[in-house]
Amino acid sequence: IKQLEKAGITELEVPTEYLYGRVLAKDMIDQSTGEVLVECNTELTEEVVTKILDAGVKDIETLYTNDLDCGPFMSDTLRIDPTRTPLEALVEIYRMMRPGEPPTKESAENLFNNLFFSEERYDLSAVGRMKLNRRLGREESTGEGTLTHDDIIDVLKTLIAIRNGQGQVDDIDNLGNRRVRCVGEMAENQFRVGLVRVERAVRERLSLAESEGLMPQDLINAKPVAAAVKEFFGSSQLSQFMDQNNPLSEVTHKRRISALGPGGLTRERAGFEVRDVHPTHYGRVCPIETPEGPNIGLINSLATYARSNSYGFLESPYRKVVDGVVTDEVVYLSAIEESNYVIAQASAATDEGKRLTDELVTVRHQNEFTVAPPEAVNFMDVSPRQVVSVAASLIPFLEHDDANRALMGANMQRQAVPTLKSQVPLVGTGVERTVAQDSGVCVTARRGGVIESVDAARIVVRVNNEETEAGDAGVDIYNLTKYTRSNQNTCINQRSIVRQGDVIARGDVLADGPSVDLGELALGQNMRIAFMPWNGYNFEDSILISEKVVQEDRLTTIHIQELTCVARDTKLGSEEITADIPNVGESALSKLDESGIVYIGAEVGPGDILVGKVTPKGETQLTPEEKLLRAIFGEKASDVKDTSQRVPTGTRGTVIDVQVFTRDG
C-alpha cells in the first residue's frame, strides 16, 4: 500500500469475480428511474453483479468485514430477520412473549413499552444504571430509571466489540458484579408486593361500588401489606432463628452473607466457580469461614472491617500512601475501584516516618499479587486481620494453620457452650474485648460516674455533673438479665464486675454476660494439657480428663429447658390440671402445690411430675370383676387417665420459673 501511495496510484482495476460474496453497503438506485435495483445488505452474486453493471452503475460500496476484528454479525442477522417494519417487529416480539394470543397493534406496542420503557412496570434502579453506564464506558453514573434507545444501541456496540475481540467479558464471580441485598431492601420489596395487592383490591372495589359517599377506609384494606411483611419475617428462607450459643455465634450469624434464598442460587445448581474464593474477596468476604457441607462457599462471612456501600457492593478500608509515605487517611474501596490501584500489605516494613523501606514492596494490582517500588504504591491494608472474619481473627497464630483446619476451628468456636465460670484466654489476639462488647451481651456504661449501689440484679450509677442534662435526675439504673433461656437452651446470665464507689467512664463494662470474663470474650477454659501416652487410655483420639476438672466444675455448663403442658377440651370433656391424680403415691405429688403445678425451687429428676393433669376416658364395657371393684372403691379411678407432664429422661435440675396462662373468654 505504501508503494502504491508513493506511485500516486489511487485506483486499481479488479476483476468482477472479486465482488462475489461481498455485501452491499447502500441501496443501488437506477439514476434514470429512481427505482431501487438492489437493496443494501444483499450478498453480491454473479446475477446481482451483472444486473448492476447492466444498469450502468459505476460505483459500488461494499461492507468491509473480516474474521479477526470486524465480523459480519449485524449484516448476517438483518439478512435472516423476517421483519421489515417496526410493526412487524412488535408483532414478532408479541408472538414470542404471548404465544397463542392474537396480536393487535395496540397490545403489541403496550407489551413492548411495558417491558423496558414504562416507569410503572420497569425499574433499572440506581445501581443498575450505574453498572450499565460504567460497562458502556460512559462518564456519568446516574440517569433514567428505564432503558433508552441509546442504551440498547450502546449495548449492541459493546457486544459486537467483544465478539470482535475488543474488550473483556465480565467475570460473574467478581464482587464488583455481585451485590449484597440487605434486610431493608428485601422488606421494601415485600412491602411493595403488599401494596400492589392493595391497589388491585381498591380498583376492584371502585369499579363495583357507588362512588358517592365513599370513604377511604371503605376502600382500603391494609391486611395484604401486613400479611406480606409478616410472611417475609415469619417464613422466609433468609429469616432465621438467631444462633445464641455464645456471643461469637450471635455476632457471626448477624454478619453472614448467603447466596441462597429467594432470587438467589440453589445448592444443587451452584457450581464450583460460585463457591470458590475469588481475588476480590480480599478484605470483603472471609476466605476461611464457611460451612463444610453442601453449602460450602454459598454461605460466607463478612471480613472484619468490610462494609456495604449505598449500592450494596462490599467495600474494604485502605490507608492512603503518598510518594511512598503511609498517611492516616482511610479510604473505603469497592471491588470495582480497587483493581485500578496498587495496594501494599499491612505487614510491609516502614520506618519512624511511616515511609516504606523495602526497595520492592509486595502488592496487589489488577487482582494479581506482584511487587512494586514504594513510589508506585497508592494504598496499604489497614490491618493484617482485615482479610478474615471475626471468628477466624480470634484464632491465635492463624497464619501457621492449614486452611481446612482453620475453617473447622472458626466454625467450632461458635459451638462452645458458656461454662459456669468463664476464663479469659492466656493467649488471645486482641479482638476478644471488641467482640464481647459488640455482641451486646455485656452491660456497658452509657455515661461516666460513680457506682452508687450494686447487687445481683441491678447497678445504680451516679452520673458525672458535666454529663447530665437540665432536668435530668443524674442517675443511671442498669437492670441485669438473670438466668434467661437462649434460643439454644443455654443460660444467659449477667454478673456485675464493679463495686460500690468505683469510678467509671462512658463505655466501660459494668457486667459480664455469658462466655465473657472482665469484658473479654472467654469461650473456654485454660486447661493444663499433657501430650503423652497414659497406659493406652488415650489411644488415637481418646482424651483422659483429671478428676479435678469435674470437682472444680471447670467444664460444667448450665442449660435451661422450657417444658409446656396444655389442658385441652376433648370430645369426652375438658382435661383438668389437678393434684388429684389416680394411682399415684403421695411421694410423687410431694413437689406439687395444691393446684397440681410444681413449685419454684423444687429439685426434680427424670420421671418426676411437673404438672398433674387428668384426661377423661371413654366409657367401655366393664367385666363383672371391674363392676365389683367400682362398687367397692367408687367411680373416680376409672373415669380419667393420668396424662401429667413429667421430666424427660436424662434431665435433672431445679425449677426456676413457672408461668400459668389462661384463655380469654
Grade residue 635 by pLDDT with cuts at 50, 70 and 90.
low
Answer yes or no: is pLDDT of 41 > 90: no
* Closest C-alpha among 295, 303, 252, 238 to residue 411: 252
Q: What is the CA radius of gyration of the chain?
A: 38
State the average pLDDT for the chain.
Answer: 90
pLDDT tens sequence across 335-374: 999 999 999 999 999 999 999 999 999 999 998 999 999 9
For 363-372, 442-451, 475-484, 638-647, which range has the lowest pLDDT when averaged over its residues?
A: 638-647
Q: DSSP letter at 490?
A: B
CATH of the domain at 614: 2.40.50.150
Q: DSSP letter at 26?
A: S
CA distances in angstroms from 503 to 7, 436, 437, 445, 499, listed in the order given: 98, 22, 19, 11, 9
Rounded Cα gap, residues 466 and 180, in angstroms: 43
Q: Which percentage of the chain shows pLDDT scores above 70?
A: 98
- The pLDDT of residue 48 is 84
Rounded Cα gap, residues 23 and 64, in angstroms: 8
Rounded Cα gap, residues 550 and 548, in angstroms: 5
Residue that is last in its domain, among 63, 80, 97: 80
Beta strands in 268-356 (DSSP E): 299-301, 307-308, 314-322, 325-334, 343-344
Residue 35 forms part of a structural domain: yes
**Torsion angle, CA of 133/139/143/147, rounded to 10 degrees?**
-30
Residue that is last in its domain, among 80, 103, 121: 80
Answer yes or no: is pLDDT of 637 > 60: no
Kindly tell me the sign of the dihedral angle through the C-alpha atoms of 397, 398, 404, 405.
Answer: positive
- The pLDDT of residue 209 is 66
Residue 23 forms part of a structural domain: yes
Task: Compute the average pLDDT of residues 320-327.
Answer: 94
Answer yes or no: is pLDDT of 627 > 90: no
- The pLDDT of residue 211 is 65
pLDDT tens sequence across 46-91: 888 888 788 777 778 888 888 888 888 888 888 888 888 999 999 9
- Cell (9 digits) for 416: 462452645
Residues with Cβ within 8 Å of residue 412, at least 6 apart in sequence: none
Helix (H) or strand (E) holding 411: helix 403-413
Residues with Cβ within 8 Å of residue 364, at least 6 apart in sequence: 279, 282, 342, 343, 345, 370
Task: Compute the average pLDDT of residues 245-268.
Answer: 93
- The pLDDT of residue 619 is 66
Answer yes or no: is pLDDT of 626 > 60: yes
Residue with more model confidence, 554 or 11: 554
* Closest C-alpha among 324, 279, 331 to residue 305: 331
Residue with more model confidence, 33 or 162: 162
Grade residue 641 by pLDDT with cuts at 50, 70 and 90.
confident
In sequence order, what are the beta bridge partners of 285?
302
- How close are the terminal C-alpha atoms of the chain, in Å? 101
Task: Compute the average pLDDT of residues 32-43.
Answer: 82
Q: DSSP letter at 387?
A: G
Rounded (to 5) percent helix, strand, coil in the chain: 30, 20, 50
Rounded Cα gap, residues 628 and 634, in angstroms: 10
Answer yes or no: is pLDDT of 634 > 70: no
Task: Compute the average pLDDT of residues 122-148.
Answer: 90
CATH of the domain at 28: 3.90.105.10
Collapsed DSSP state (helix, strand, coil) of residue 22: coil
Residue 62 forms part of a structural domain: yes
Residue 584 forms part of a structural domain: yes
Contact 525, 511 (CB under 8 A): no
Collapsed DSSP state (helix, strand, coil) of residue 463: strand
Residue 490 forms part of a structural domain: no
Residue 106 forms part of a structural domain: no
CA distances in angstroms from 173 to 272, 332, 373, 638, 652, listed in the order given: 11, 21, 30, 71, 52
Amino acid at position 181, single letter:
R
Residue 529 forms part of a structural domain: no
Residue 64 forms part of a structural domain: yes
Collapsed DSSP state (helix, strand, coil) of residue 479: strand
For 124-138, 147-161, 184-198, 637-651, which range has the lowest pLDDT when averaged over its residues?
A: 637-651
Quote the distance between the C-alpha of residue 398 and its chain's center.
25
Q: For the beta carbon of residue 642, count every other beta carbon within 10 angstroms.
A: 14
Q: Which percentage of the chain shows pLDDT scores above 90?
A: 64
Contact 300, 257 (CB under 8 A): yes
Collapsed DSSP state (helix, strand, coil) of residue 190: helix
Rounded Cα gap, residues 379 and 243, in angstroms: 37
Residues with Cβ within 8 Å of residue 660, at least 6 apart in sequence: 597
Residue that is last in its domain, among 56, 80, 104: 80
Residue ranges making up the domain that contains 580: 569-654
Task: Compute the average pLDDT of residues 255-271.
Answer: 91
Rounded Cα gap, residues 595 and 659, in angstroms: 13
Question: How many domains is the chain built from?
Answer: 2
Contact 289, 407 (CB under 8 A): yes
Answer yes or no: is pLDDT of 142 > 90: no
